[in-house]
């Protein structure tokens, strides 16, 4: 297992030198954030980012993410231009030493929460998804805006996207994903970069938009679209685990034994009776997922890919990007590392 940590670049409130102080931390997970989706990243930007990471004595191995342009997801005639750009980004990142690229295929919104600062019983704040709140939201009117996406699109842009997606059902989205994969996976193979799709978050349709990377049946279908070790998963325990129909331990066991998990996002969620959920501390009694059992099957299957502690609460008065503070994710990293060390020492 290679322990890694998400970093949002020089403007991130969490500094690289702080991340470096987390014991066992190996790699930084980052991206170029100032280039429009679908465009080619400059070699200069990639080299600069790599130098920043490596100057902190951390590895530049994982990119999260190279976003997929909406025209590709929609299957528009313009998609080929953006796919060629995507291929070039794969080539350029490979030259910089990147081993894994995380991406997703979610239409319009790549994650959905209804509140970013819910105060929990212990006084910390967390990202939450309450169905009652979602039912009152309409991203097209903006009367109750969608947290995290309030400024991502204008109302006219959103209306146009929703109009285009009204013609795209799940099968059409599958077809568009297959077209994309058959173009990029051969390039990934040639450049020794493993592509790792992130599941839909949460794993069901939102606002009438189709979502397909949602459950075991669909993950099986996805992996068969291009049956290559370079076509794999970012297995996010919190995204898939936010739906009770997914058995996370069994799924991690299955796909890690097949060598198709290239990147693990480990976080916990507390499932509520109505299907809502709250993000919680990694320590498993605080949530509905059994993190120890997840780590045990990864260890059993000799998982040697990248793993990062995913979203954390905001604790101890920390402010900044919701879900991505230093303190709770650092606690999560050490919780995960402690489980792994115990497994290493007790299974010899």
Place of tokens 């109302």: 155
Tell me the CA distances in angstroms from 66 to 9, 35, 61, 88, 152, one per residue in order: 15, 10, 14, 11, 17
**Contacting residues for 112 by C-beta, under 8 A, at least 6 apart:** 129, 134, 146, 201, 202, 206
Query: Count of CB atoms within 10 A of residue 170's CB?
Result: 13
Known catalytic residue at 265: yes
Which member of 82, 130, 165, 324 is catalytic?
324
Known catalytic residue at 286: no
Known catalytic residue at 236: yes
User: CA 21, CA 24: separation in Å to the nearest integer?
Assistant: 9
Which member of 12, 201, 230, 236 is catalytic?
236
Strand partners, 142: none
Known catalytic residue at 282: no
* Torsion over CA: 338, 344, 345, 347 (sign): positive
Length of the chain, in residues? 348
User: CA 141, CA 211: separation in Å to the nearest integer?
Assistant: 22
Tokens of 163: 């109009």
Which member of 265, 282, 299, 328 is catalytic?
265
Tokens of 315: 């604790």
Burial letters 304-333, b for 16+ CB under 10 A, else e: ebbbbbbbbbbbeebeeebbbbbbbbbbbb
Strands 261-266 and 268-271: unpaired
Instruction: Count the alpha carbons within 13 Å of 88 in the hemisphere toward its beta carbon.
Output: 12
Which candidate, 102, 142, 112, 130, places its Cα nearest to that of 204?
112
Strands lying side by side in the sheet with 115-119: 115-119, 125-129, 277-280, 268-271
**DSSP 8-state code for residue 200:** P
Which member of 12, 71, 110, 310 is catalytic?
310
Which member of 82, 129, 198, 200 is catalytic?
198
Q: Point out the residues that are catalytic.
A: 198, 236, 265, 310-311, 324
């Amino acid at each position: 297992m290679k322990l890694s940590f998400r970093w949002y670049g020089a403007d991130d409130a969490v500094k690289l030198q702080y991340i470096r102080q987390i014991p066992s931390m190996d790699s930084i997970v980052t991206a170029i954030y100032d280039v429009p989706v679908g465009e080619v990243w400059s070699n200069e930007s990639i080299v600069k980012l790599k130098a920043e990471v490596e100057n902190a004595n951390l590895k530049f191995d994982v990119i999260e993410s190279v976003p997929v342009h909406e025209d590709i997801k929609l299957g528009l005639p313009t998609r080929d231009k953006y796919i060629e750009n995507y291929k070039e980004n794969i080539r350029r990142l490979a030259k910089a030493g990147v081993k894994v690229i995380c991406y997703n295929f979610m239409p319009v919104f790549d994650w959905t929460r209804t509140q970013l600062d819910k105060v929990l019983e212990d006084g910390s704040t967390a990202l939450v998804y309450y169905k009652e709140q979602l039912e009152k939201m309409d991203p097209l009117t903006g009367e109750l805006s969608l947290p995290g996406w309030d400024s991502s699109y204008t109302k006219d842009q959103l209306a146009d996207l929703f109009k285009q997606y009204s013609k795209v059902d799940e099968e059409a989205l599958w077809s568009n994903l297959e077209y994309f994969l058959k173009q990029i996976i051969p390039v990934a193979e040639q450049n020794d970069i493993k592509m790792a799709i992130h599941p839909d978050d949460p794993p069901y349709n939102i606002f009438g938009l189709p979502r397909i990377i949602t459950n075991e049946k669909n993950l099986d279908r996805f992996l068969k679209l291009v049956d290559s070790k370079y076509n794999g998963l970012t297995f996010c325990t919190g995204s898939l685990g936010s739906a009770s129909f997914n058995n996370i331990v069994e799924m991690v066991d299955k796909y890690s034994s097949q060598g198709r998990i290239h990147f693990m996002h480990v976080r916990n969620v507390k499932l509520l009776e109505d299907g809502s959920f709250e993000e919680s501390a990694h320590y498993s009694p605080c949530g509905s997922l059994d993190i120890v059992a997840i780590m045990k099957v990864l260890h059993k299957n000799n998982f040697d890919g990248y793993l990062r502690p995913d979203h954390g609460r905001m604790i101890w008065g920390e402010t900044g990007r919701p879900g991505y503070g230093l303190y709770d994710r650092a606690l999560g990293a050490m919780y995960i590392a402690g489980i792994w060390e115990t497994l290493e020492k007790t299974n010899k």
